[in-house]
């Protein structure tokens, strides 16, 4: 059953050097028309939305906070018109610190948005410039003050490590600043240099200096130690939260549950099929106008693929993969399908089997990608 909705806003006032998401410069884009197209796409999903029990909504991008207050008002009006809200417990929006004004936060709260996911990335001003970010630390502090004024229930920030020329001291300083602000949820990711990004072009020309694997592992180790000592629970490889502040929407992905994706370039998983929408805004909007779903690709997920996804998504969570849930979903025990792989990984002490769950060990978290490869047939 569908339990979540993702809504993509592909507009940015600034394109970051590391970003490979579907995004476009805000200037001269048909933003108002795009929002209306989103409403029409929601209408196309009306039957599925009414049958579902939607628990989480996530507005991502791009940059949702690149919208004006009036545009945000229209977007939220469409969302709350077409998406049944009675079961929604988490309504999140991504945000840039230098674009999230008090009036935008008030508008979000008016429509029930109760969680912000803010792209901070680092508290080091020099590294922010390297990333192509336009905000300052003062913008972050201002947003946190606005959150208190508007009684915002939860804020999450993203931090990144393994950045170009980043030192261990810079990483430590960013983490300590986040702890000082008592942010209830922190996502911390190592930099991945993706194709079609400015960083990728620089790397291919030998003009991007990245920390080595040893330093990156040291940064991750420091992250794990400090999160625990400051009262955060690690519930996924890169995600940490105070008790009860975990991201319910992201847990949908890691639990391999179904969700509807709306907007240009959005991905979804409904009725056993994974799909992606057209990425170019014009193509997306033109298809919507014909009354058809703006699908670029749709693929039925085979049972084998579902089991693979159950493993490499589920093992990202600290609780791991439930043996009982696996058997209930697929009619086979985990050992029936992956007995040989389990034995080898247990012997290498990269996995542990306890309390009817299989999960990564502390050592396994440092080698997660290698472990996941075992379950890809």
**Which pLDDT tens digit goes with each residue over 73-82?**
999 999 999 9
Phi, psi of 291 (to 5 degrees): 85, 15
pLDDT greater than 90 at residue 16: no
pLDDT tier, 255 (very low <50, low <70, confident <90, very high otherwise): very high
Share of the chain above pLDDT 90, in %: 88
pLDDT of residue 23: 76
Q: Tell me, what's the pLDDT at 20?
A: 73
Mean pLDDT within 135-160: 94
What is the reported pLDDT for 28? 87
The separation between the first and the last C-alpha atoms of the chain, rounded to the nearest angstrom, is 26
Closest CA to 142 of 100, 190, 112: 100
Residue 24 banded pLDDT, cuts 50, 70, 90: confident
Q: Given strand 351-354, what is the order of strands in its sheet?
A: 321-322, 357-360, 351-354
Q: Nearest to residue 149, comparing CAs of 108, 121, 190?
A: 108
Report the pLDDT value the prediction gives residue 37, as an integer from 0 to 100.
98
Alpha-carbon gap, residue 252 to 317, rounded angstroms: 11
Question: b/e string for 29-55 if b means 16 or more Cβ within 10 A?
Answer: eebeebbebbbebbebbeeebeebebb
Produce one character per residue of 309-340: b if its CB has 16 or more CB atoms within 10 Å, e if not.
bbbbbbbbbbebbbbebbeeebeeebbebbee
Q: For position 275, what pLDDT does the model report?
A: 98
pLDDT band at 268 (very low <50, low <70, confident <90, very high): very high
Q: Is the pLDDT of residue 68 over 90?
A: yes
Least confident of 125-139, 174-188, 195-209, 324-338: 195-209
Give residue-wise pLDDT tens across range 290-317.
999 999 999 999 999 999 999 999 999 9
Confidence category of residue 203, pLDDT binned at 50, 70, 90: confident
Under 8 Å CB-to-CB from 192, ≥6 apart: which residues?
18
Q: Which domains does the chain carry?
A: 2-254 (3.80.30.20), 319-373 (no CATH)
pLDDT of 26 > 90? The answer is: no
């Amino acid at each position: 059953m569908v339990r979540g909705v993702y809504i993509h806003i592909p507009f940015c006032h600034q394109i970051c050097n590391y970003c490979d998401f579907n995004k476009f410069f805000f200037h001269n884009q048909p933003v108002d028309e795009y929002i209306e197209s989103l409403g029409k796409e929601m209408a196309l999903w009306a039957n599925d939305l009414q049958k579902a029990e939607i628990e989480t909504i996530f507005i991502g991008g791009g940059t949702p906070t690149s919208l004006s207050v009036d545009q945000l008002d229209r977007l939220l009006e469409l969302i709350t018109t077409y998406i049944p809200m009675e079961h929604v417990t988490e309504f999140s929006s991504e945000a840039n610190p230098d674009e999230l004004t008090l009036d935008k936060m008030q508008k979000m709260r008016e429509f029930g948005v109760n969680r912000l996911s803010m792209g901070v990335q680092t508290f080091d001003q020099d590294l922010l410039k390297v990333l192509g970010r336009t905000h300052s630390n003062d913008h972050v502090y201002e947003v946190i003050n606005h959150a208190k004024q508007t009684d915002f229930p939860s804020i999450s920030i993203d931090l990144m490590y393994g950045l170009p020329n980043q030192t261990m001291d810079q990483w430590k300083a960013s983490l300590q600043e986040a702890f000082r602000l008592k942010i209830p949820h922190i996502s911390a990711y190592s930099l991945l240099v993706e194709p079609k990004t400015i960083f990728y072009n620089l790397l291919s020309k030998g003009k991007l200096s990245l920390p080595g694997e040893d330093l990156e592992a040291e940064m991750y180790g420091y992250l794990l130690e400090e999160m625990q000592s400051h009262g955060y629970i690690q519930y996924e490889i890169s995600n940490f939260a105070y008790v009860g502040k975990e991201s319910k929407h992201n847990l949908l992905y890691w639990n391999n549950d179904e969700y509807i994706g709306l907007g240009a370039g959005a991905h979804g998983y409904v009725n056993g099929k994974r799909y992606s929408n057209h990425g170019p805004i014009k193509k997306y909007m033109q298809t919507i106008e014909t009354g058809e779903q703006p699908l670029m690709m749709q693929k039925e997920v085979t049972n084998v693929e579902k089991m693979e996804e159950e493993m490499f998504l589920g093992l990202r969570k600290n609780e791991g993969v439930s043996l009982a849930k696996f058997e209930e979903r697929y009619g086979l025990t985990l050992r029936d399908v992956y007995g040989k792989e389990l034995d080898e990984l247990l012997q290498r002490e990269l996995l542990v089997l306890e309390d009817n769950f299989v999960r990564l060990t502390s050592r396994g978290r440092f080698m997660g990608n290698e472990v996941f490869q075992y379950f890809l047939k």
